[in-house]
């Protein structure tokens, strides 16, 4: 399945985010302790980004062949914006983790690491795509 329309991409992002939020609020948080809950939700968020990256396609992209593992967006600009936003969120979460008491630092620390990994993935993709746009 390939998602090519902006509407479809927004529906995927909002729909899956809402699903994870509801799943966490009504199921996961009631079955496991808070530490495991944070780790499960972080893993679900990474998985939903990976699935989205594999399914989304730009207007001029090949829709039959799989994307290279490193490619996150159709064009470099999108990855720079998304990656920059994620790195900013990683910074804010990191500051929150450092400013928290040790017993309350797990959630922002996990968020910081998750955002940093995803942001680096998007930025790496954009740097590689930008390099492909240059004439040889």
What is the DSSP annotation of 12-27? HHHHHHHHHHHHIIII
CA–CA dist 33, 45 (Å, integer): 18
Asked whether residue 43 is domain-assigned, the answer is yes
Domain count, the chain: 1
| Domain range enclosing 28 | 6-133
Please indicate, yes or no, if residue 59 is contained in any of the structural domains: yes
Radius of gyration of the chain (CA): 17
- Does residue 50 sit within a domain? yes
In a domain, 1, yes or no: no
Does residue 18 form part of some domain? yes
Predicted confidence (pLDDT) at residue 99 exceeds the cutoff of 70:
yes
Residue range 2-48, pLDDT digits in tens:
999 999 999 999 999 999 999 999 999 999 998 999 999 999 999 99
With CA atoms as reference, report the closest residue to 110 among 133, 136, 90, 84.
90
Does residue 105 fall inside a structural domain?
Answer: yes
Tens-place pLDDT, residues 121-131 = 999 999 999 98
What pTM was computed for the model?
0.89
Averaged over 104-112, what is the pLDDT?
95
Instruction: Examine residue 98 and state whether it is found in any structural domain, yes or no.
Output: yes
pLDDT at position 1, please?
80
For the segment 43-84, what is each residue's pLDDT rounded down to a tens digit? 999 999 999 999 999 988 888 888 999 999 999 999 999 999
Q: Band the pLDDT of 98: cuts 50, 70, 90.
A: very high
Q: Report residue 136's pLDDT band, with 50, 70 and 90 as the boundaries.
A: low
């Amino acid at each position: 399945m390939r998602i090519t329309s902006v509407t479809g991409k927004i529906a995927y992002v909002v729909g899956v985010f809402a699903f994870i939020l509801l799943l966490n609020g009504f199921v996961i948080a009631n079955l496991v302790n808070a530490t495991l809950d944070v780790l499960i939700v972080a893993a679900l968020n990474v998985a939903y980004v990976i699935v989205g990256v594999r399914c989304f396609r730009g207007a001029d992209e090949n829709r039959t062949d799989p994307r290279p593992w490193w490619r996150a967006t159709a064009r470099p600009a999108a990855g720079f914006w998304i990656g920059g936003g994620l790195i900013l969120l990683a910074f804010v979460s990191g500051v929150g983790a450092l400013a928290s008491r040790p017993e309350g630092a797990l959630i922002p620390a996990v968020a910081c690491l998750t955002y940093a990994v995803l942001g680096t993935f998007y930025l790496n993709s954009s740097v590689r795509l930008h390099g492909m746009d240059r004439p040889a």
